[in-house]
Structure formats: C-alpha cells, structure tokens
Chain A
Amino acid sequence: ILNVEQSPQSLHVQEGDSTNFTCSFPSSNFYALHWYRWETAKSPEALFVMTLNGDEKKKGRISATLNTKEGYSYLYIKGSQPEDSATYLCAFRRMEYGNKLVFGAGTILRVKS
C-alpha cells in the first residue's frame, strides 16, 4: 500500500508569517514528487515537479526541497499573503507505476490579514 502523508492537516497564520509543511512518502523506487496548490472552487494547479534527491525549486515566495533517500519533501512559503490561502497537495509517483500519481490529503493554509 502506497501512503503519502502530509502535515499539518491545517494551518492558520498571520499575513507576513513564513510557514512550511511536510510531505512524507515511501522512499523505494522513487520517480517523482509533485506539489499542487488548490484554491477553493478552482482546479488544482501544479507548483513543482521534483525528481532528483536534493532538488530545490522556487517560484516567487514559495520553495520546495526534496529528500528521496528518507522520503520527505518540504514546502516553504515566505511572507504569507491572504492570496496564499489554499490547500497544498503533494503527490508521489513510483518508478513502476507508470502514470499513477498517489496524493496526500493536503495541508489547508489560511492566511489572515
């Protein structure tokens, strides 16, 4: 059974705070790790796709790191803004699973102004 765990389940922060969440996944036969941002009543949108151990990706104030040997990825948001409020999903692809992406339940972020 392939489980992807995300923590915390939800997070409430003040505008300007920096925050981070964790995604844990099985470390064997790793192929790729995806992060998606899902705003209410919209479609999930990809933030990052990471494939190499030690990968670091950045998009504006959001960045992510990847450790495939120990099976975790961190997503960081610097100086949170109300528009960052969304559910952040991570998803894991194993080498032998072809097109199958297994998702975590997500971290719900609410940023108060």
Chain B
Amino acid sequence: DTEVTQTPKHLVMGMTNKKSLKCEQHMGHRAMYWYKQKAKKPPELMFVYSYEKLSINESVPSRFSPECPNSSLLNLHLHALQPEDSALYLCASSQVGGGLANTGELFFGEGSRLTVL
C-alpha cells in the first residue's frame, strides 16, 4: 500500500472548469512534489515545496496553482486548462536534509489521471 495518497484517481474536466488534485502523506516528510507525465515520456517536475514553502517552480503556466496548506497536504488547483494538459499527475514526498541518513528517495502516490476536454 502506498503511503502517499492522491485523489481523485481519475478526473475529466472541461476547459472552463476549476478543479483540484489532492495529495496527502503521513511519513513526516517536509518536501513534496508535483510531477506531470505524458505517455512514453519522462515524469517532468512541476513544483517542489520544502517546509511548506514553494522552492521550485519549473516555469509552469499559471493555470496550474499549487498549494501546501500544511506539512501533510499538497494541492494542485486547475483552472482554464487546455487539452494538451491531459496527463498523469504524480505527487511525491521526501525527507529534507538529515545528512547521510537521507537518501533523497522519493515516495510516490499512484497518480491522478487528468483528461481535459
């Protein structure tokens, strides 16, 4: 069983809709990530939060708006998306710092499959 939970597993939305993807972890990790993956392509980093602050934004269009309300939760708010935004959105978490004990390993959820009509 994954320790990173993503909801919903599937989402279909129109280009004028507003929706959100949610991610939750209870491993005490203080870094959380959003990746986007299209078929047969590498997962692409979108955002990283470290200690609930946005630390990396990979020039993601503003129609994607991340939010980290607390150390366990990560949201991705979606508005005015385009059909080309259809993809699998993966959430992950990891430890931060910790010296040699921290391998930097990412713990992933199963993803949210988004279809934009």
Contact = CB atoms under 8 A, between A and B. Distances in A.
Given A36-B106, A43-B107, A100-B45, 18 more contacts: A9-B40, A36-B108, A43-B90, A43-B108, A43-B109, A43-B111, A49-B103, A49-B104, A98-B48, A98-B56, A99-B56, A99-B94, A99-B104, A101-B45, A101-B104, A101-B106, A103-B35, A103-B42
Interface string B104-117: 11111111000000
B42 A32 contact: no
Interface of B: 2, 4, 31, 33, 35, 40-45, 48, 50, 55-56, 90, 94, 96, 103-111
Given A99-B33, A99-B50, A102-B45, A49 B94 contact: no
B48 to A, nearest CB: 5
Interface of A: 4, 9, 32, 34, 36, 41-46, 49, 89, 91, 93, 98-106
A11 to B, nearest CB: 14
Considering the complex of A and B, which 7 residue pairs feature the smallest CB-CB distances, nearest first?
A: A49-B103, A103-B42, A43-B108, A46-B105, A43-B2, A44-B108, A43-B110
B106 A105 contact: no
A104 B44 CA distance: 9
27 contacts: A4-B42, A34-B104, A34-B105, A36-B106, A41-B110, A43-B4, A43-B107, A43-B108, A43-B110, A43-B111, A44-B106, A44-B108, A45-B108, A49-B105, A89-B42, A91-B106, A99-B33, A99-B48, A99-B55, A99-B56, A99-B96, A100-B48, A101-B104, A103-B42, A103-B43, A104-B42, A106-B42
Contact of B56 (A43, A100, A103, A106): A100
